[in-house]
Amino acid sequence: MDHPQVVAVAPASPAARAGLLTGDEILTINGERPRDVIHYRLLADEPDPELEVRRGGLELTLAVPKAAGEVLGVEVQSALFDQVRTCDNHCEFCFIYQLPKGMRTSLYLKDDDYRLSFLYGNFTTLTRFTEADLERVVAEGLSPLYVSIHATDPDVRARMLRNRRGATSLRWLRALLDHGVEIHGQVVVCPGINDGAVLEDTLAGVLDAYPELATVGVVPLGVSRHSHEPSMRPHTREEAAAVLDAVGEWQAVFDRVLGRRLVFAADEYYLLAGRPFPTAGEYEGFPQHENGIGIARSFEAELLDHADDVLGVRSGFFAWVDGAPADGYRAPRAAGATRATMAPASDDAPVAVLTGEYGAQVLAPLVARLGRDDVRVVAVRNEFFGGNIAVTGLLVGEDVARALVCEPEGHRYLLPDVCLSRGVFLDGMAPADLPRAVEVVSTDGRALRHALVGR
């Protein structure tokens, strides 16, 4: 088990006044060894904590005078200090299995850890969940959590997870709901496996057995050119339309019975089917924005309607591994900030917004409505992953570089930060390695609006 290592100490904070330094290892807080950042925060919230730390091979005791609930003022290196609970499922549609060789080792780690579900919104199947986990979730109020359902039929779910415990692990979903834990569910739809009648049965099962679920997101599987599963294939236009029809019919049922729509389809389905997105109000607050549901409408509101608040920022696919803060995706982030690599272009230079192919389908009509003939959208094809992978968050440096080589010098190129994790793309390239200077912009409509107005 590792110890939390201090990577930053806020000036004038209780930790700074007590003498804690960057590089210190926190061995215990009030005699307890933190297991993860959740446990660490609970211990650090206590009044006047006593820290045992290791510094340069020496162990020291630091008393930290502070009030209960006062922030300690320390950033630690990771969210988990004990071993990550890895996934023992072998899902045909798992994207981790579709990664090419030679990427960062951390990207191949497949987790099924409820703590990462709480901290970052990762979806867990609950196949490794235990009674002790339930006790901790309830006692510490670890809510909301995010659960991969995929199918409520036990045999179908076990087959999809390739794990016999998939047939029984939804009992933990029932137990969590019984204890008042807020749960958001997910159904990854695989054509010919859990669509059609199986999807209908799953949504009926949700109403029958899990009506307390906060939301259920219905999303399509991603199939890269590196997939070796012959039964996995992208949706056809007709299949995407059928999924939307099913979701729409069940939204009406849930609304009539529960007073809320409960189930929502991913934006990708509307693009695949060539259908307009629902209105912003129909997303009921965008509760599954990070899952690619409602991004188009929220972005539109932020960009064109001058929304004061950022309605949501989708994290990168691998955000928890390298990119997100140890406190989790709920930790504060700077909104609307931009930063340039190499020499920035002048404010009055033509502007190009870099995005994935799906993003371009959404952005192009929005940019047209701005009435700016100096702003264009550059769709970057994802040749690195290939297949049907077209979301902006999975763009890699080599594909962005390939697109930029064909673009003129001297223009302003805006790159959404969702492509980056700790300042680098998934393939390890950095923005500074690109053939044109880019400005990294927060992935929300307000930030883009501010960037287009000028620095």
Which tens digits make up the pLDDT trace of 406-440? 999 999 999 999 998 878 898 999 999 999 999 99
Provide CB contacts within 8 A for 3, sequence distance 6+: 25, 26, 27, 33, 34, 54, 81
CA distances from 49 to 6, 19, 23, 84, 383 (A): 16, 13, 19, 27, 52
Q: Are the C-beta atoms of residues 244 and 277 closer than 8 Å to each other?
A: no
Q: pTM of the prediction?
A: 0.86
What mean pLDDT is predicted for residues 33-51? 91
Q: Helices then strands (H, E): number in the chain?
A: 13, 14
The pLDDT, as a whole number, for residue 101 is 81
The pLDDT, as a whole number, for residue 324 is 37
Provide CB contacts within 8 A for 94, sequence distance 6+: 110
The pLDDT, as a whole number, for residue 104 is 73
Omega of the bond prior to 435 within 30 degrees of 0, cis? no
When pLDDT is cut at 50, 70 and 90, the band that residue 328 belongs to is: very low
Is 317 a residue whose pLDDT tops 60? no
Is 316 a residue whose pLDDT tops 50? no
The pLDDT, as a whole number, for residue 110 is 78
What mean pLDDT is predicted for residues 5-27? 93
Is 108 a residue whose pLDDT tops 80? no
The pLDDT, as a whole number, for residue 343 is 52
Is 207 a residue whose pLDDT tops 60? yes
The pLDDT, as a whole number, for residue 1 is 57
Take residue 313 and report the two structure tokens written for it.
């920022």
The pLDDT, as a whole number, for residue 454 is 63
The pLDDT, as a whole number, for residue 112 is 87
The pLDDT, as a whole number, for residue 335 is 37
Take residue 241 and report the two structure tokens written for it.
């339309």
Amino acid, single-letter form, for residue 144 = P
- Among residues 355, 337, 351, the alpha carbon closest in space to that of 296 is found at 355
CA dihedral 135, 140, 142, 147 (to 10 degrees): 0
Higher pLDDT, 64 or 96: 64
Which tens digits make up the pLDDT trace of 156-197? 999 999 999 999 999 999 999 999 999 999 999 999 999 999
334 three-state secondary structure: coil
User: For the chain, what percent of residues have pLDDT higher than 90?
Assistant: 68
Which tens digits make up the pLDDT trace of 295-306? 999 999 988 876
The pLDDT, as a whole number, for residue 339 is 52
What mean pLDDT is predicted for residues 216-240? 94
When pLDDT is cut at 50, 70 and 90, the band that residue 310 belongs to is: low
The pLDDT, as a whole number, for residue 111 is 82
Lowest mean pLDDT among 227-231, 252-256, 420-424: 420-424
CA dihedral 86, 88, 94, 97 (to 10 degrees): 80
Which tens digits make up the pLDDT trace of 351-383? 999 999 999 999 999 999 999 999 999 999 999
Is 32 a residue whose pLDDT tops 70? yes
